Amino acid sequence: MTGDLPTSELLTHGEKLLGWIAEYLQHPERFPVVSPVAPGEVRASLPAAPPESGESLERIIADFEQKILPGITHWNHPGFFAYFSISSSIPGILAELLIAALDVNAMLWKTSPAATELEQVAMDWLRQLLGMGEGWFGIINDTASISTMLALAAAREAKPELQIRARGMAGRSDLPVMRVYCSEHAHSSVDKGALALGFGLDNVVKIASDDEFRMRPGALAAAVRADRNAGMLPIACVATVGTTSTTSIDPVDEIAEICGIEEMWLHVDGSYGGVAAVSPRYRHVLRGVERADSLVVNPHKWLFTPIDCSAFYTRRPDVLKRAFSLVPEYLVTREQDEVVNLMDYGVQLGRRFRALKLWMVMRAFGADGLASRIERHCELARMFEHWVAADPDWELSAPVTFSLVCFRYAPSGLSEPERDRANAEILQRVNASGEVYLSHTKLNGVYVLRLAVGNIRTEERHVARAWELLREASVSYSSD
């Protein structure tokens, strides 16, 4: 047999699957939020080799329900409070269907003009929603990790005298050691970017933070000075708006001042926290960003767009293009000097049509709808914060800036190591309930629990249930 399946199959199974999705989104709580399967269980339930001849979609979908679903951890569950809670939304899901149907590769303007131009429109709309001024060029990447790596590559290219593009770095005694700076609370993607680009992990300098987990600009200035005195070359600084452990906000304005003086590229990682600026109440979180060279925010984290969708902005697209543009004959097009060809701004050639989902999400919710959802999540987090603060056996571990609460069980009478053990065990028990999923981090060396509100379907009752489960687990742990 050749060719695709008949479109009647699409209609029959498409209708059924849409029904399944509607039911799933309406009642996600019928599934345990964390998959209870043991390592290897899903794999063992599946044939080791592919089928010799095609199978019916009915059978495949039945296996999806029976064998794959039990191994799914439900990020779209309203009780998902771990890491940064993300969620897709109905406009985003419908967009993904269209994206798959069109199967556009937006590598060149010519290979789908609307994909390139909609990406520019969507990125410009998002810029306006975030309250950012003009003068930014935006592209959509898969993840913030890749966006940050591109920023570091551009930072290096911003010093053309190094001739990295042509000559690389290996075996060159004429090159100084290049340094990248970020706070000790920056995401590990900064290290990975430095690793991929050959800066070396030892050259990612972790700047100390204050007691609210924000980078200390004075410590940054001192570190840069010391490195210069040692003959090294400061290349870039990554400031974070919404750090992963606590959502602290680095003082971007003051960091920008130092970057200006030291001629370093300033990249702002606002992957999670940056999107809060769609609410006028949180617009201030991007203060100072207008002085940065680049910024990343992730609509797939907290703007209800299905993963993946990472919005990368730079005020210096010419530098980014210089770092990556390379046009072999087979990719030459007539209009290449008049249009944006997205392949020029990164490593990848092939590119998904992600702009469609971001555009559909922004249109379906509007500026007001996005802002009110973000604000509601922050209110729910503050509610939880008050419950924790009011209970003498529990304590808050960091200021609540957005919709994340860091806290711990800390009854008097338990030593610090005992408290660490108690919190790890409480987390284990609460997550085993199947009703909620929280995660943890370490702050100042102690084990801390994290409750991140970010799912579009999370309501007060889900947050209240999490608090109830936590308290029950603490009581049962203490009486064991």
Ligand X SMILES: Cc1ncc(COP(=O)(O)O)c(C=O)c1O
The residues of the shown chain that bind ligand X, judged by CB under 6 A, are: 84, 143-145, 187, 189, 240, 242-244, 269, 271-272, 298, 310
Nearer to ligand X, 111 or 441 (CB): 441
Q: Which is nearer to ligand X, 271 or 341 (CB)?
A: 271
Burial of 49 from C-beta contacts in 10 A (0-12 / 13-18 / 19+)? exposed
Nearer to ligand X, 301 or 316 (CB): 301
Q: How far is the CB of 240 from ligand X (least distance, A)?
A: 5
We find the least distance from the C-beta atom of residue 272 to ligand X, in angstroms, to be: 5
Minimum separation from the CB atom of position 217 to ligand X (A): 19
Please identify, using beta-carbon distances, which residue of 21 and 347 lies nearer to ligand X.
Answer: 347
Closer to ligand X by Cβ: residue 155 or 469: 155
User: Which residue, 108 or 182, is less far from ligand X as judged by CB?
Assistant: 182
Contact 414, 261 (CB under 8 A): no
Q: How far is CA 371 from its chain centroid? A: 18
Residues 397, 448 contacting (CB under 8 angstroms)? yes
Nearer to ligand X, 183 or 397 (CB): 183
Q: How far is the CB of 40 from ligand X (least distance, A)?
A: 25
Our CB check for ligand X shows the closer of 144 and 236 to be: 144
**Nearest residue (CB) to ligand X, 162 versus 309:** 309
